[in-house]
Every structure is written in C-alpha cells, then in structure tokens.
Amino acid sequence: MKDLSVHFAGVSKKYPHFALENINLELPTGSIMGFIGANGAGKSTTIRILMGLVHQDQGAVHVLGHAMPAEQVAAKLDIGFVSEDMRLYKSATIAWHMEFIRSIYPRWDQSYAESLLQRFDLKPQQKVKGLSHGQRVKAALLLALARRPRLLVLDEPTTGLDPVARHEVLGELMAVLADEERTILFSSHNTQDVEQISDQITFIDRGRIIDSDDKEIFLDRWRRLRLVLPPEATLPRLPGIVQVSGSDRLPVLTTNSFESAMVSACHDMGATVQAVDSMTLEEIFVASVQGGRERQTV
C-alpha cells in the first residue's frame, strides 16, 4: 500500500456559481506534485479543503493520516502553507514573525531559518510593509520551510511576481528543495514553474480533475502526430486521440496514449507520418483542457 500524504476520495463542494466535483487525488509521501489549472479552475478551493479551511460537502480527505477538517489542528502542525493571497502583518518585522512561528511549532529550526534569511537576502529587522512582493513571498516561504513541515503546500506562490522575482523565488525554492526530501503540493496556472520542480502532475479544470500522472510518463504519453493522408483516405482510428486539428489532407492528431505502434498503424492505414512531436507541459495542459471541455459539451 502506498504511503500517501494527501488523499482525496470523492470530494465535492458546491458554491452558488462554482462546484468542485468528485475530486480524487493522491499525493504519495516524498513526491512533489504540480497542481495545474486555469484561474478559477478550483485549485485554491481544493487546497483550502486540504488545509481544513473550507469544509467539503461530500467525500473524505486525509492529510498526513488525519481526517480533515475534523483533525485539522493536528494536521496543520506538520504543514507549511504559502498562498498567493496570504499576507504577513505589515507593521511587524520579519524577526517578529519568525519568533511568533517559532513559539508555535516545536520543530522550528532557528539555524535553518537564519540560513534562509541569508539565502533569500532578507533582513530580520525589516518591517513587512517595506518589503517588495517578491521579498514578502520569500519571507512567507522562510516561515513555512523553517518549521520543518512534513508537507509543504504552495498555492500559486509565484503569481503576481515580476519575471525577475519569479525566477529568484523559483530558483531559491528549487535550491531549498534539493536539500532534502519533502512532500510538496505546488499549485499554479504557470506550467513552466510547475514543470521545473514537480515529479507528479495533476490538471484541474472547471472543478474536476482531468488528468493526473507522473511527470515523465505524462510527457512520454502525450504526442502530436503530423500526418499526410492520400486523397479520399479516412483518418485512422487510434486510441487516446484528444484533439484533431489541421486540414483533411494534413491532419494533426494529439494523443495522450502514445505508443510507437501508433506510427506503424498509421502507415498500415495508408497515412504518412511526417513527424511525431513531443509536447511541452503547457501544450499538454491546453490540449487536456480543450479536449475535456469538448467532451463535456458533446
């Protein structure tokens, strides 16, 4: 049996204009999951349910072995949480925040916190109101990391950062993550950010999980096949075709279940395979979302 840090089983939550429907999610201990969705897809709602901040209407949520939201106090002792809409107290210094968090978390690591201060180029006596957005994100990350959490939940931490600050934050985060093994859930609508640090990928759209897999398997099984069809030939029927674009003569098939046998199957049906293109995570995400939405409307 897998050791899971996060387990969602059939979780639903209804709002007047949005619903999270039948979310099933597994995050194995020690892995880093990129949780990707467009704005309003349900990432933050899912994460709030994970944190016990929002109660699900249906389904079971277990985080680090604790049933949520009932056992959220025990679970949150082992979680470091940073979200895009989280702010620190403007009138207080970073040092005050560090002391406040230290007084709550028994595993707070002061020497690690001090090394992060240096690495993030933060000054402890600086008040939060004088920090740039990038520095505020780094300060929040420091507070989350130095409590030595078993699970790190990052809800769009790079949103709103300028490219330089985003690069810095991600670079520092990757350097920090390289230090040791952690379980991380990293949500973003920016696939590049997620691709850099994740080993598992989950896509969410319109309140539903549309795909979830290991990153390498994800990148391996998605391909774009550029075909040339002879006149009056029909498009070969292949498994896992998510999208068909291009023209009748020069179709482009996007598949989420690529196997090399597909190429010979195309040849057998009279089609010429001009190219088999790998796809970036962003292309996969867009194709997944569009394919999912098309299936919903059919």
Partner 1 sequence: MNFSMVKRLILKDWYLQRWLILGSLPAGAITLGIIALGGNAGFFLGILLLVTVIIAVGGQLAVATMVSERKEQTLAFVISLPISYREYTAAKILGNLLIFLVPWITLVLGSFALLMFPPALHLGLIPFVAIMAAEILTSTCLIFAVALLSESQGWTVGAIIVGNLALNGFGYFVGHIPSIANGMWSAPLNWSPAASFLLLGEFTTIALLLGLTFFFQSRKKDFL
Q: Which residues bind partner 1 (CB under 8 A)?
A: 48, 51, 53-55, 72-74, 76-77, 79, 81, 83, 85-92, 96, 100, 103-104, 140
Residue closest to 108 by CA, chosen among 146, 160, 59, 51 = 146
Degrees, nearest 5: CA angle 145-150-152: 50
| Residue 71 or 213 with smaller CB distance to partner 1 | 71
| Residue 54 or 122 with smaller CB distance to partner 1 | 54
| Residue 152 or 165 with smaller CB distance to partner 1 | 152
Q: Burial, 225: exposed, middle or buried (Cβ in 10 Å; 0-12, 13-18, 19+)?
A: buried
| Residue 143 or 262 with smaller CB distance to partner 1 | 143
Distance CA 88, CA 198 (A): 27
What stretch of H or E contains 68? strand 66-68
Residue with tokens 């319109």: 206
Bridge partners of 11?
A: 23
At 246, the amino acid letter reads: G
Bridge partners of 253?
A: 225, 244
Residues in Cβ contact with 123 at an 8 Å cutoff, skipping those fewer than 6 apart: 94, 117
For the bound state, the minimum distance from the C-beta of residue 89 to partner 1, rounded and expressed in Å, comes to 6
Distance CA 289, CA 286 (A): 5
For the bound state, the minimum distance from the C-beta of residue 143 to partner 1, rounded and expressed in Å, comes to 8
| Residue 107 or 293 with smaller CB distance to partner 1 | 107
Phi-psi region for residue 289, left (φ > 0), alpha (ψ -120 to 50) or beta?
A: alpha
For the bound state, the minimum distance from the C-beta of residue 123 to partner 1, rounded and expressed in Å, comes to 20
For the bound state, the minimum distance from the C-beta of residue 157 to partner 1, rounded and expressed in Å, comes to 12
Residues in Cβ contact with 98 at an 8 Å cutoff, skipping those fewer than 6 apart: 113, 124, 142, 143, 146
| Residue 56 or 198 with smaller CB distance to partner 1 | 56
For the bound state, the minimum distance from the C-beta of residue 236 to partner 1, rounded and expressed in Å, comes to 49
For the bound state, the minimum distance from the C-beta of residue 39 to partner 1, rounded and expressed in Å, comes to 17
| Residue 150 or 167 with smaller CB distance to partner 1 | 150
Distance CA 121, CA 113 (A): 12
For the bound state, the minimum distance from the C-beta of residue 140 to partner 1, rounded and expressed in Å, comes to 8
Residue with tokens 């020690």: 30
- Residue 93: DSSP 8-state: B
- CA 92 to chain CA centroid, Å, is 31
For the bound state, the minimum distance from the C-beta of residue 45 to partner 1, rounded and expressed in Å, comes to 9
| Residue 5 or 255 with smaller CB distance to partner 1 | 5
